[in-house]
Structures are given as structure tokens and as C-alpha cells.
Amino acid sequence: MTNKAAIIGGGVIGGGWAARFLLNGWDVEVYDPDPEAARKIGEVISNARRALPGLTDVALPAEGRLSFGASVQDVARGARLIVEAVPERLEIKQTVYAQIEETNADGIIASSTSGIMPSDLQAKMAHPERLIVGHPFNPVYLLPLVELVAGSKTDAAHIETAKAIYAGVGMYPLHCRVEIEGFLSDRLQEALWREALWLLKDKIATAEEIDAAIAYGPGLRWAQMGTMQTFHLAGGEGGMRAMLAMFGPCLKWPWTKLMDVPELTDDFVEMVGDQCDTQAGALSPRDLEVIRDDNLVGIIRALKAQGWGAGAVAQAHEKLLRAADGSDARAAALPADQPVQTAHRTVPLDWTDYNGHMTESRYLHAFADATDRFMEIIGCDSAYITSGGSYFTAETHIRHLDEVHAGAVIAITTQVILGEGKKMHLFHQMHEGDRLLATAEHFLLHVSLETRKPSAPSVAIEAALVRFATGHAGLPKPEGLGRAIGVAR
């Protein structure tokens, strides 16, 4: 039987909730008086369809059914979960709860409020025991955190049921055990935001500078370790206790506008230290550093693929490295009678598998990058591709000859086997020092991006390709050229 979620309110948060549940197989019915609600939610769901499946290596279930109701009462009927995502005004929310209770007596009512106390929300309800706060973070369809908060009249069983529901759609339900204004995350965010506003007010920094101070440093650490574990690790082998001993007194210095600091008594320091030790478990500081570094490499490389934040910095650094070692040279600067070096790189941490060596897909990744680099060398670069032409790979064959591990410095050289008209046939060899690791044979056709059919390249690109093909014709035939699976070596 398909579950049904009712979404009351179709704004950014309501739309995100609709996408999260719909793409996880729930039927979703939405009520919002905005005549543009269907369009707006449809656009959010389109973004979610593009992004959310990328979080897992297993296909999501078949989408549920999306519909729109004419009233709160209509959409609440028969819903297992009723998500309230209306404006942050207590009287509006309480009116909505009364309407929900007219047609639904069983479902959990989860408010998306970011700060109103659940005891206040449930004060006028006939059945307040089923109201909880389920506070999400935008974009709801991607960020897993949802804060669960009970009011004074909430039945604890509903918190447990909600945990299972949210975990079932890929979320991390964090039970905020004490009812407090702003809950946990927003209190922490607001403290940082408050300080940022003071830095702006006092003309100490611009908005861009303040964001850079987070995005290029602490924010990358916070993405994988929260404030407490980050500072626990910063204390080295002494952990949080050492951190508090070194920097605790600084909390009373007039660095910020937030000057109400808890007294760092011995008991308090021990309590914090014990909790951080428990959080670390059996992991030593060195273990945590390795985990942290692996995560940071993955995060920054993901940002690099988008040219964003710290990833843009990594891109710029890579450009400098290419210029320094000459690997950004174009065809005219390279000898035509020698194989062309198309890659010189270190195997990154996230390219290895459970056996500790580079995965099969990363061999293809490295060789595909080498092909792209050769295309750049002969002039088929981003500017040319934007003008409407490119080479498409038609066939690939890879031989895996030896293992390679993270941290290995590999080089790929490329030999042109055929280069004429629309055709380009390349043979790559991957080495670590003198050790041959793998070879790849790529056959490509030049294609018009307008017609998506084979077409002649530009005169300049064909001339550069023919120059290498002619020069490489005198080189020895590469071992393994033309080999198919099963052919004897």
C-alpha cells in the first residue's frame, strides 16, 4: 500500500518536502491557495529529479502520484503524515491544525517551523498528542537533517514513528530532546549570522568577505564534522580538554558581540571532554585526521567539478601547475614525431576501492581526460566546442596490466594511429615511472553538435591532427593495438 503525505503550503519548504516524498515513492497531495503553486512546485520537483538520484547507487523507487487539493481538509484526508509548511505566524498554523483535525484523526502532524515552540503550536488542538516539529533545511530534497521536537502534550510514540518515516526517505532525524526556541541548528546558525551582521554594521568586512571566511575554511570542515568534533581534533592528542585549556580563556576576550560564556569549571571541561571522547569512539586523532582528509579531498574535488568555492581555487592552482610543467602547450609547441604527454597527475584518494587500488572506472576516467587533453592540444577546446563541433568516442578498449594506488604519480602518453577527415584513432599508455599500468585505445568521430551527425572538423584542427598522425606513423606499433578481449597476448 502506497503511503500518502499531505503538504500544506507550497513554498520553497513545502515544495522541497513534496519532492522528497514523491521521489521516494509516496503519494503526495498539496494544498496552497497560490494559483501558481503547481508551476512552482513542479519546478522544484524537476530540480529534485535531476539531483536527488545522484545521492545513491541504487535506483529510487517508482515515483508516487502528485495531486493538488482544493482545501486543507481535502489533502489531509487519509494522509499518514501531514506536513505543515505555512508562514511563521502562530494563528495561521493553529487555524490549519483545526482544519486538519476535521478530516484526519490518525496521521502525524509535522510543522516545518524553524523556531515556534511545539507546545504553543498544539495549545488549541483537540488531539495535540500527534503534533511534532519536523524542521528541515533547504533544499529539503537533498539535505538529510530534520530536527524533531515534541511539545508538552506530544505522545513520544509519534516521535519514534516520525524517525522511521524520515529515515525511510533518506533523512537524518535528529531528536531535539529539550523544547527550546530555535531548536539546535538555527540557534547555532543564528549566533554566526548575528556576528556576521555586526561585522557588516561595523564595516569590518563585506558580505562576500564574510562568506569567503566560511566557505573556504570552516564550512568545509563542518560539512563532515560538526563544531565539537572539529575542535576536539584541533586539540591533537589532548582532544577537547587540551583545546579548552588553550583557547577557553579566549572566549571571554572581546572578540565577538556574543560575550555570555559558560564558566569553564573542571566538571564542565570533563563533561565536554568525555562526550567528545565518546563521539570519537575507537578512532585516534590520527585516524580522525585521515578520515577528515579523505572527506575534504572528496568535497573539494566535487566543488572543483562545478568550479565553485574552494573548488574554483583548486582549478586555478591546477592551471598554474599546468603552465609550470608545460602540460598546457598546444600542438605547434610539441614535437610531432613523439608520443604526446596528455596527463601527469597524482591518483587522488577517492579513486581507490576497498582493495586499496584504483577502480576500473577511474582508469577510463584518466584515459578519457587524456583524450580530452589531446583534443585541446589540436584545438578542439571549450571555445571550439561552444561553436558547434566536437569529437565523440565511438569505441574504447582498455587493458588493465598492473595495480596503481592512491598517491601514485602517473603519466599518460598518447600516440595517434589514425587522423584524417572525421576520424581520430588514439592509443594511450599509462605509466608510473617505468612501470606500464594500462593501455587504452579510443576511436572517435568528429560530430556537428547541431545535427548530432559526423562532420568534418575545422581546417586548423584537421591540420594539427594530420601533423601528429604523420609524425607518429614512423613510431613502433604499440603492443596491444587492436587487441580484443580473449585474444592471446
3-state secondary structure the chain: CCCEEEEECCCHHHHHHHHHHHCCCCEEEEECCCCCHHHHHHHHHHHHHHHHHHHCCCCCCCCCCEEECCCHHHHHCCCCEEEECCCCCHHHHHHHHHHHHHHCCCCEEEECCCCCCHHHHCCCCCCHHHEEEEECCCCCCCCCEEEEEECCCCCHHHHHHHHHHHHHCCCEEEECCCCCCCCCHHHHHHHHHHHHHHHHHCCCCCHHHHHHHHHCCHHHHHCCCCHHHHHHHHCHHHHHHHHHHHHHHHHHCCCCCCCCCCCCCHHHHHHHHHHHHHHHCCCCHHHHHHHHHHHHHHHHHHHHHHCCCHHHHHHHHHHHHHHHHCCCCCHHHCCCCCCEEEEEEECCHHHECCCCEECHHHHHHHHHHHHHHHHHHCCCCHHHHHHCEEEEEEEEEEEECCCCECCCEEEEEEEEEEEECCEEEEEEEEEECCEEEEEEEEEEEEEECCCCEECCCCHHHHHHHHHHHHHHCCCCCCCCCCCCCCCCC
Q: CA-based angle 360:363:368, to the nearest 5?
A: 130
In a domain, 203, yes or no: no
Give tens-digit pLDDT for 150-187.
999 999 999 999 999 999 999 999 999 999 988 999 88
Domain containing residue 445: 326-472
Give me the pLDDT at residue 488, please.
66
Which domain-ending residue is among 116, 149, 175?
Answer: 175
137/489: higher pLDDT: 137
Task: Look at residue 478 and tell me if it is in a domain.
Answer: no
Q: Are residues 224 and 234 in the same domain?
A: yes
Lowest mean pLDDT among 38-42, 85-89, 250-254, 348-352: 250-254
**In this structure, is residue 195 part of a structural domain?**
no
- Residue 275 sits in the same domain as residue 424: no
Specify whether 407 is located in the same domain as 394.
yes
pLDDT value at 317 more than 90: no
The per-residue pLDDT for 39 is 93
**Domain check: are 288 and 399 in the same one?**
no
Residues 261 and 350 in one domain: no
C-alpha cell at 468: 601528429
For the ranges 3-12, 118-127, 156-165, 203-212, the lowest mean pLDDT is seen at 203-212
Question: How many other C-beta atoms can be found within 10 angstroms of the C-beta atom of residue 192?
Answer: 14
351 and 305 in a single domain? The answer is no
Is residue 330 one of the residues assigned to a domain? yes
pLDDT digits (tens, 9 = 90+) for 251-304: 777 767 676 767 888 998 898 889 889 989 999 887 888 888 788 888 888 888
**Would 456 be classed as within a structural domain?**
yes
pLDDT exceeds cutoff 60 at 32: yes
| Residue 418 pLDDT level (bands cut at 50, 70, 90) | very high
Q: Is the domain of 146 the same as that of 107?
A: yes
Instruction: Output the CA–CA distances (angstroms, integers) from residue 329 to 368, 373, 460, in the order listed.
Output: 18, 10, 16
Mean pLDDT of 219-240: 86
Q: Do 330 and 382 form a contact (C-beta atoms < 8 A)?
A: no
Residue 255: predicted pLDDT: 66
Last residue of a domain, one of 152, 175, 198: 175
User: How many domains does the chain contain in total?
Assistant: 3
pLDDT band at 348 (very low <50, low <70, confident <90, very high): confident
**pLDDT tens digits for 447-465?**
999 999 999 999 999 999 9
> HSE (CB half, 13 Å, CA atoms) of 248?
17
Same domain? For 252 and 274 the reply is yes
Same domain for 151 and 69? Answer: yes
276: nearest Cα among 224, 235, 243, 240? 240
Range with the largest mean pLDDT of 292-301, 351-360, 398-407: 398-407
- Say yes or no: 230 and 356 in one domain: no
Q: Hunting for cell 564534522 — which residue is that?
A: 225
C-beta of residue 309 within 8 angstroms of C-beta of residue 315: no
* Any domain includes 482: no
Residues 310 and 366 in one domain: no
- Of the two residues 295 and 84, the one the predictor is more confident about is 84
pTM: 0.76
What mean pLDDT, rounded, does the chain reach? Answer: 91
What is the mean predicted confidence (pLDDT) over 73-97? 96
Give a yes or no: residue 153 inside a domain. Answer: yes
Interstrand relation of 145-150 and 172-175 (parallel, antiparallel or unpaired):
parallel
Same domain for 339 and 259: no
Residue 487 confidence (pLDDT):
67
On whether residue 278 sits in a domain, the answer given is yes
Residue 26 sits in a domain whose CATH number is: 3.40.50.720
Given pLDDT bands bounded at 50, 70 and 90, which one contains residue 1?
low
Burial grade of 150 (CB within 10 A; 0-12, 13-18, 19 or more): buried
> Given a cut of 70, is residue 434 above it in pLDDT?
yes
